[in-house]
Structure formats: C-alpha cells, structure tokens
Structure 1
Amino acid sequence: MARSLGRIFRGFQSLCSVPFMKTELSHPCSSMFRTSLRTMAVLPSFFSFKPRDFSLPNSSWGEEMMQLYKYYDSQCEVKTDGEEGQGGQWKRLPSYNRSLKYATGGVYLSKIIQSKARLFTRNVRNPGAAFEYVLFMRKDEQKCVCILQAGHLLEGPPGHVHGGAIATMIDTVTGTHASLLCAPVVTANLSIDYRSPIPLGSTVLIESTVDKREGRKTFISCKVTSTDGSKLHTEATALFVSISVSHLLRG
C-alpha cells in the first residue's frame, strides 16, 4: 500500500513538472490541488511499516540516564549485515510493540498502524513527561535490566512516582523478558512490595531475573533500586503463562 501511494505521489510530481500543468495551477481551484499534493506527501511516511524506536536517547534524558545507557550499550553485541551478533554480553531491546501482527483485525490492519505503534508506557508526545526508559537483556544469565527516568506526569504522592506507574513498568519489563523466552505470554500474577518512594525526575534501575520455568509458566522476580544499588525502592514477583497465537486472534 505504501509503495502504491508513493508511486501515485511521484506521478503527481512528474505531472506538475510539465509546462502546461504549471499554467493550469495558477487557476484559483489549484489551491485544492496543491493541498492534495501536500497530503499525498505525508501519506507514504504515515504508512511506513518501520516503527519508531522510543528507547533511544533524546534531549530529556538526564546525565545519569545517559551514563547508564552508554555503559550497557558499550557491552552490547555488535551486528553487521548478514551476520550474527559479535561479542558483547547485553542486547538492547527496542521500545515499540512488535506484536501487532497478532492483533484482532488482521495482518493488513496491523501493518497500517505498525508505524505508530509503541508500548503504551511511552505513549506520550512530550519527551521526558512520563516514561523514559530503555531495556537491555543478557541471555546467558536470563536477566533483563531497565533504566527508567520518571517524568512529572507520573506523580502520585507529592514529588514522587505513582505506585501504579511503578507497577506498569515492572509488568512491562518482566513481561517483555518473559515474552522473549516464550512469546506470546500473558500476566497471570503480579505481586509487588513497595519499600521506599521514587522521587520524580530521578533515574532508577529495574532488574528482572528468571527464577524458574515449568511448562507454559515462567516465574520472574524483579527489583527496583537506585542506580548505585544502595536503595531498594520496590520488590516484585511475577508469573507469566505462554499462550497460542490463535488465542490472541480470537480476541
């Protein structure tokens, strides 16, 4: 579909380059035609099938967030075209929802909206206002770590992060971790103990570890700490159950 729209737009561009068309475009009705051309110029990018990665650095990231990102990113495997990852212990996970191909409505609908898709935790236009985070996974130790910077829209107690926002991130991190082992999965149980509040604007680490796997069940433990590990903010355990793609398609 995107290719067809692109061809149509290029056709309009070629047509407008013809001398007699330049004359016709001086007519008052040509403003509507020019508006249509501008709309067509936007459509190909709208229907792009490559989603935007929201886990990359942006201007809202603080110094601590950037330092931790660089630390883990420096230990990631390096990939070249047509080759497997070379070296490195960690792998950065992109922050967009790649499961839309299973969405109710079919594969064609999912492709159309894929370009705008993301994990709902990052669904805020203003960078830094809510969830700024990036995930890294280490397969050999079955660990996942998330660097989180909490924005002002996540306020619960005055000056601190809402408990529901913390639960959202824990479910996102542990669920992403489990889905990489046996996708797709659903959350069956999430148990959280809040130890100390997280100040708004601060950066914390969310560490997820697989405890055991039993058939379709994956048991994961998680903790939220200060970046130096000196303060424990939250502890949690989660149970995920793998399901079939046909189960998702039934809606």
Structure 2
Amino acid sequence: MNSSSFCFYSILVTSNIVHMARSFGRFLKGVQSFTSLPVMRTQLIHPPTCISPRSALRTMVALPLPFFSKPRDFSLPNSSWGPEMLRLYNHYNSLTEVEAEGGEKQEGPWQRLPSYNRSLKYAKGGLYLSKIIQSKARLFTRNMRNPGAAFEYVLFVNKEEQRCVCIFQAGYLLEGPPGYVHGGAIATMIDTVTGTHASQLSEAVMTANLNINYRSPIPLGSTVLIESSLEVREGRKTFVSCKVTSTNGSKMHTEATALFLSVNVSNLLLGA
C-alpha cells in the first residue's frame, strides 16, 4: 500500500468513527428523557463541536448506561443475616481458598455458587413469553424485595466429595404451623439445593421424583443446614440424598431423596 492510498484509508476510517460517534450521540439524545444521570445529560445538552476518533471511542465506552448494570448476587451477606448465618458463611467461604507452599493462594475444596433472581423465560412451542411477563419474571426463591422476609440462603459445592451444603435462614413470610416453617417452603429449598447440586454434576436437569420425610419442625427465623450428596448416576439419571439439620448437627429436621433427569438444553428451551 503506497502513502497516498494509506492516507485515504486513514481518512476513511476516521470519518467512519466520527460518524458512528455522532450517530451514537443522536441515539442517546433520543433516550435522555428516560434517565436522570447527570453525566449523560451534560453530554447531550452540550455536545462537543469537534470530536477526535480516539475521544469518540473513549466517550462511548465510558458512558454510564443503565442497561449495563451488574445484577445483584443474592448469595452474598446482607443486613438481614443473623449471627449464625454469617458464622457459617464465613466458615465455608474461608474454604474456597487455601494457602499453598510459598504463601500463594489457590482454589480450595469448596466453591460458593452465585445466585441471581432472573433467567430467560420461554413458553411451550419455542414462543417467547410476552415482554411484560419477561420483564417481571423472577426466580421463585429470589422474588422478595425485603431482605430476610422469605428465603435467605447461600450454596457451597465440593466437587471432589460430590457434596453440596446450603445455609438457609427462614424468613417470617414462610410460616406454616404457628411459629414454624411451612412444609412447602422446606420442600422448595430441598428441590432448589438438590437440583442445583445435580446440575453441577450433570449440567441441565429436571426434577423427576422428590421424596420427603419430615422429622421435626423448623422454627421460623432460624438457620439450618441443607446438605445434598450424590448417591449414584445411571445414564441420564442422577440420584441424590438430602438432609436438613440444625447447624450443630444435633437435630434432624427433614430427610429426602431425589431423582433428576439430564435434559437437552435446546429441547428444554423449545418446550419439546
């Protein structure tokens, strides 16, 4: 490529970048009524008269657009967690890293699983649900606005031991018998823990069978441990056992067994 063609190419690229930046500025101007961010409003009301390609790209990257916000991880501590919940969280979280020889940190035997309140929803036949339903859809156990009102929990998985431990604090909206947790809420948490564990072992799974034996009621507002262990895997089938105990292990609240079937993700999304 000679110098004249290189110069023409550089001018063309610069022109395209400036055009992209100005188009992006017009786009932002169209949505300024939907945001109150002072930085964005300043850029829209007082647009630069001259912009270089480098500053144009830097501006596009740095703009604080609301739809790039990071989702909340509900498995992290919040103000509603009681002392026992925090103690157990700190205990298992300390096992996610170990100190190797030479003082370096490396991955430990346990791994904390992040938890969010939204997932992409599909209707049967592969049709998207309406935009309104999609925008309001929330994971059942993560749909409460007030921290501590219902399901407060965090899961840790140990792949070597093929075990999963959930620290669960039952909120005041989960009452069944006076002063105790509703049996359906306990079943929900058992399904959540065993299903999450099975998905770590076999990728996408669906619950095929869940058998629960209630031994003693769980006091409302208390913290318990829900432990899931792999029993056997046979083809598409994953069998796990589960127990719900007091945090010191002295009391058995619930025992359960569950069967999960591996599913094809594409078939699941298409409703097949």
1:74 corresponds in structure 2 to 94
Given that 1:187 and 1:238 are in contact with CA atoms closer than 8 Å, whether structure 2 keeps it comes out as yes
CA distance in 1 between counterparts of 2:194 and 2:215 reads 19
Distance change in 2, residues 1:5/1:210 (3 Å): farther
Query: Pick from 192, 199, 207: which aligns with 1:179?
Result: 199
- The one-letter amino acid paired with 2:171 is G
CA distance in 2 between counterparts of 1:168 and 1:178 reads 15
Q: How is 1:1-251 mapped onto 2 (pairs within 5 angstroms)?
A: 8=28, 9=32, 12-17=41-46, 44-45=65-66, 47-48=67-68, 50-77=70-97, 86-96=106-116, 100=120, 119-251=139-271
* Runs of 5+ consecutive residues of structure 2 not aligned to the other structure: 1-23, 33-38, 48-63, 99-104
Given that 1:129 and 1:152 are in contact with CA atoms closer than 8 Å, whether structure 2 keeps it comes out as yes
2:6 corresponds in structure 1 to none
Given that 1:154 and 1:165 are in contact with CA atoms closer than 8 Å, whether structure 2 keeps it comes out as yes
CA distance in 2 between counterparts of 1:204 and 1:11 reads 47
The sequence identity of aligned pairs, in percent, is 70
CA distance in 1 between counterparts of 2:201 and 2:117 reads 16
Aligned-residue CA RMSD (Å)? 2.9
Structure 1 segments of 4+ aligned residues over 6 angstroms from their partners = 4-7
Given that 1:6 and 1:44 are in contact with CA atoms closer than 8 Å, whether structure 2 keeps it comes out as no
Equivalent pairs, count = 212
* Runs of 5+ consecutive residues of structure 1 not aligned to the other structure: 19-42, 79-84
Given that 2:25 and 2:44 are in contact with CA atoms closer than 8 Å, whether structure 1 keeps it comes out as no
Given that 2:119 and 2:139 are in contact with CA atoms closer than 8 Å, whether structure 1 keeps it comes out as no
CA distance in 1 between counterparts of 2:116 and 2:244 reads 22
Aligned partner of residue 107 in structure 2, secondary structure: coil
Given that 1:224 and 1:232 are in contact with CA atoms closer than 8 Å, whether structure 2 keeps it comes out as yes
Given that 1:96 and 1:117 are in contact with CA atoms closer than 8 Å, whether structure 2 keeps it comes out as no
Given that 2:119 and 2:138 are in contact with CA atoms closer than 8 Å, whether structure 1 keeps it comes out as no
1:12 shift after superposition: 4.8
